[in-house]
Amino acid sequence: MTLKELELFYYLCDDPHISQLAKKLSISQSAISLSIKSLEKKLGEQLFDRLGKKLILNERGRLFKEETYTHFLALKDAQDRFSKDTLSGRLKIASSKTLGEFIIPELIYDFMVKNPNASIQKDIKNSAQIIQMVLQGEIDLGVIESECNEGSIIKEKIAEDELVVVTSDKSLSGEKLFIDTLSDRRWILREKGSGTRELFLQALGNAAKEIKLFMEFTEFEEMKTLLSNHTELLSCISSYVVAKELKRKELYTVTLKNIDLSRDLYIIFHKDKYRTSLFESFKSYLISRFKEF
């Protein structure tokens, strides 16, 4: 049964004159009759007694109205809401840890303030995990910090990011150094699967074999604490993560010679994803806001 069939049925419950209803709704009497017959056929019962040209709601019709009218009003309300407010609904997204802790939360907050009927559910995973979540249809959209060459995934560049090598050893700042001059230092890097770690090791090439990977970390505060307490430690991380510490001169950057640590940040989603107005609006919003950073 359709909402239109139900709507005509309830109209006739209040006023059983088909001719008057047809005039009121600017449709033909036959269209109304066919709609009611279709509804009765689907239910397998007559809802009206036909006494000459009159339609009289019978006992089954009264019961059907009593059982369904409240639900009909709820469905109509939902239909009206969706037609008038296309930016309602729930999006599931996932972002890499760097973006998910330092940028995305503020953007989600601002978007939801402007669109109170929209809900954005965020998860934090590494880039490799996010790609798999998109492939499996577990999320609507992902924000990653590494390349993605999956044929079923569409990626759109949203910004650029610069990785920096950092330390609490002030003596290393202000100089340009070759990576092999730091081979006696201990390095702490993100876990495997992290886009940050992958880019750093790829940028080093064969020289990656010369660095001493002392520890892996997943929490940024853990990394910052270790760096602050141990001057012999080095790490490579997004400039977003350590912006405050660099400004306060709690950490210092180490410039590497002949190594490019810039990277592109991407939005990714499945090529078969149905792109609702909410999806397109949020995606466009992310792209526009990332231009501010």
Question: What structural domains and CATH numbers belong to the chain?
Answer: 3-84 (1.10.10.10), 89-159+264-290 (3.40.190.10), 162-262 (3.40.190.10)
Can you give the pLDDT of all 293 residues of the chain as single tens digits? 788 888 888 888 888 888 888 888 888 888 888 998 998 899 998 988 887 777 888 888 889 888 888 888 788 777 766 666 667 788 999 998 888 888 999 999 999 999 988 889 999 998 889 999 999 988 999 999 888 889 999 999 998 888 999 999 999 987 789 998 998 899 999 888 787 888 899 899 888 888 889 999 988 999 999 999 999 999 999 988 998 999 999 999 999 998 888 888 999 999 988 888 889 999 999 999 987 76
Q: Is the pTM higher than 0.75?
A: no
The predicted pLDDT at position 233 comes to 95
The predicted pLDDT at position 274 comes to 83
Task: Write out the DSSP string of 132-182.
Answer: HHHHTTS-SEEEESS----TTEEEEEEEEEEEEEEES-GGGTT-EE-GGGG
Residue 235 near residue 165 (C-beta atoms within 8 A) = yes
The predicted pLDDT at position 48 comes to 85
The predicted pLDDT at position 78 comes to 75
Residue 290 near residue 265 (C-beta atoms within 8 A) = yes
Residue 140 near residue 280 (C-beta atoms within 8 A) = no
Structure tokens at 60: 């089954």
